[in-house]
């Protein structure tokens, strides 16, 4: 007999599966990212119809059946409903979920990222912090986690302090100075590069004190998303809506 396990998880995405079921990608604290079948959940009266919605943070009862898990029950902890009330906030928050999804392999436990993700969503949903700054900081954190810590002091190629323009080398994933810029480099504005540096030294709950145009935060997000796409060989679809 297969044992039922109780895990805490957040739904990253879901897809139709067979006529009445859904395949749900859940990032769990205990097992990392898993794919789980949720049976018969598409009817309006289905008890667990909340459990395939992105942002659903719940305690899931799961069993492993062959390759997939099956969700047999779920107790809602938080639906983060308010994230869906404003389109801009919704897209930025969806990017948090997608960044989590692309940054981890299946069944690779990562409690650090789990807490980072839940906290970032809470900050956007309840603390009224600027969503673009929270997501930009989340991007910075993801790069550190993946081992691409940004050197804000000196060019990663020649080791000299930055003078003038700064570029992201998409081949190496590191930032370089104008003299070391090669073909596959992307310029980042000095304002955006400075913002990333500020974000790296600012706790989430202090982000409200940063006054900067939204376009600069977005440039940070898009630069890091491009970098991640090159590092991970994956497309980050939500970045298109930012």
Q: Closer to Zn ion by CB, 157 or 194: give it.
A: 157
Of 24-32, 98-106, 154-162, 225-233, the segment contacting Zn ion by CB under 5 A is 154-162
The terminus-to-terminus CA distance of the chain in angstroms comes to 47
Q: How far is the CB of 164 from Zn ion (least distance, A)?
A: 11
Asked if 226 is part of the footprint of Zn ion (rule: CB under 5 A), the reply reads no
Contact 164, 180 (CB under 8 A): no
DSSP conformation class of 48:
T
Q: Closer to Zn ion by CB, 120 or 177: give it.
A: 177
CA 171 to CA 169: how far, in whole Å? 5
Please compute, for residue 13, the number of CA atoms within 13 A of its CA located in the half-sphere on the CB side.
14
Asked if 177 is part of the footprint of Zn ion (rule: CB under 5 A), the reply reads yes
Of 101-109, 128-136, 174-182, 202-210, the segment contacting Zn ion by CB under 5 A is 174-182
The binder of Zn ion chosen from 157, 189, 194, 226 (CB under 5 A) = 157
Radius of gyration of the chain (CA): 20
Contact 91, 85 (CB under 8 A): no
Q: Which tokens is 224 given?
A: 């890091």
Q: How far is the CB of 178 from Zn ion (least distance, A)?
A: 8
Q: Closer to Zn ion by CB, 77 or 180: give it.
A: 180
Number of residues binding to Zn ion, judged by CB under 5 A:
5
Tokens 């990333």 appear where?
196
- What does the binding site for Zn ion look like in residue numbers (CB under 5 A)? 155, 157-158, 177, 180
């Amino acid at each position: 007999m297969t044992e039922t396990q109780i895990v805490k998880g957040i739904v990253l995405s879901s897809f139709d599966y067979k006529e009445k079921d859904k395949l749900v990608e859940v990032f769990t604290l205990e097992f990392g990212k898993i794919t789980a079948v949720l049976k018969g959940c598409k009817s309006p009266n289905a008890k667990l119809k909340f459990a395939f919605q992105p942002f659903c943070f719940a305690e899931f009862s799961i069993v492993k059946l062959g390759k997939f898990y099956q969700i047999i029950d779920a107790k809602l902890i938080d639906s983060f409903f308010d994230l869906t009330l404003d389109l801009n906030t919704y897209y930025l928050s969806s990017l948090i979920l997608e960044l989590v999804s692309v940054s981890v392999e299946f069944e690779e436990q990562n409690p650090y990222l789990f807490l980072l993700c839940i906290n970032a969503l809470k900050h956007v949903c309840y603390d009224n912090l600027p969503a673009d700054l929270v997501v930009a900081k989340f991007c910075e954190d993801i790069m550190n986690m993946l081992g691409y810590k940004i050197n804000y002091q000196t060019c990663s190629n020649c080791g000299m302090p930055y003078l003038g323009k700064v570029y992201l080398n998409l081949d190496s994933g590191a930032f370089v100075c104008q003299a070391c810029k090669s073909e596959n480099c992307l310029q980042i504005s000095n304002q955006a590069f400075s913002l990333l540096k500020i974000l790296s030294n600012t706790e989430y709950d202090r982000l409200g004190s940063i006054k900067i145009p939204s376009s600069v935060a977005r440039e940070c997000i898009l630069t890091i998303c491009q970098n991640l796409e090159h590092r991970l060989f994956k497309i980050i679809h939500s970045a298109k809506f930012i």
